[in-house]
Amino acid sequence: MKITEFFKYAIFSLTLLVGVCSFAQNDFQGKAYYISKTSIDMDNFGRPGMSEEQKKRIAERMKSMFEKTYVLTFNKTESIYKEEEKLEAPGQGQGGRFRGMMSSFTGGDQYKNIKDKVFLQDQELFGKQFLIKDSLSQINWVMGSETKQIGQYMCFKATATIADSSFDFTRFRRPPENRTNAQDSTQTKAPKTNDSEKLIQVEAWYTLQIPINQGPGEYWGLPGLILEVNAGRTTVLCSKIVMNPNDKDAIKKPSKGKEVTKLEYQEILEKKMKELRENFRGRGRGGRRG
Domain ranges across the chain? 3-286
Query: Distances in Å between the alpha carbon of 119 and those of 74, 133, 211, 290?
Result: 14, 6, 20, 53
Element (H, E) at 73: strand 67-74
Q: Where are the alpha helices (DSSP H) in the chain?
A: 3-22, 52-62, 93-102, 181-187, 262-286
Distance CA 134, CA 132 (A): 7
The yes-or-no verdict on residue 193 having pLDDT over 60 is no
DSSP state of 149: E
The yes-or-no verdict on residue 196 having pLDDT over 60 is no
Distance CA 222, CA 224 (A): 5
- Note the pLDDT tens digit of each residue in 203-254: 999 999 999 999 999 999 999 999 999 998 899 999 999 999 888 888 999 9
The yes-or-no verdict on residue 179 having pLDDT over 80 is no
Which of 253, 243, 246, 247 minimizes the C-alpha distance to 31? 243
pLDDT at 221: 96
Mean pLDDT of the chain: 77
Q: Who's near 129: CB < 8 A, 6+ residues apart?
A: 122, 123, 256, 257, 258
Model confidence at 195, pLDDT cuts 50, 70, 90, reads very low
The yes-or-no verdict on residue 33 having pLDDT over 60 is yes
Model confidence at 88, pLDDT cuts 50, 70, 90, reads low
Which of 215, 237, 36 minimizes the C-alpha distance to 141? 215
The residue with greater pLDDT, 225 or 172, is: 225
The residue with greater pLDDT, 256 or 173, is: 256
The yes-or-no verdict on residue 16 having pLDDT over 60 is no
pLDDT at 46: 56
Number of alpha helices (DSSP H) and beta strands (DSSP E) in the chain = 5, 12
- Note the pLDDT tens digit of each residue in 40-59: 765 655 556 677 777 677 76
- Note the pLDDT tens digit of each residue in 108-157: 899 999 999 999 999 988 889 999 999 999 999 999 999 999 999 999 99
pLDDT at 207: 98
With a pLDDT cut of 90, the percent of the chain lying above it is 46
Q: Who's near 95: CB < 8 A, 6+ residues apart?
A: 61, 62, 64, 65, 88
Highest mean pLDDT among 8-17, 118-127, 174-183: 118-127
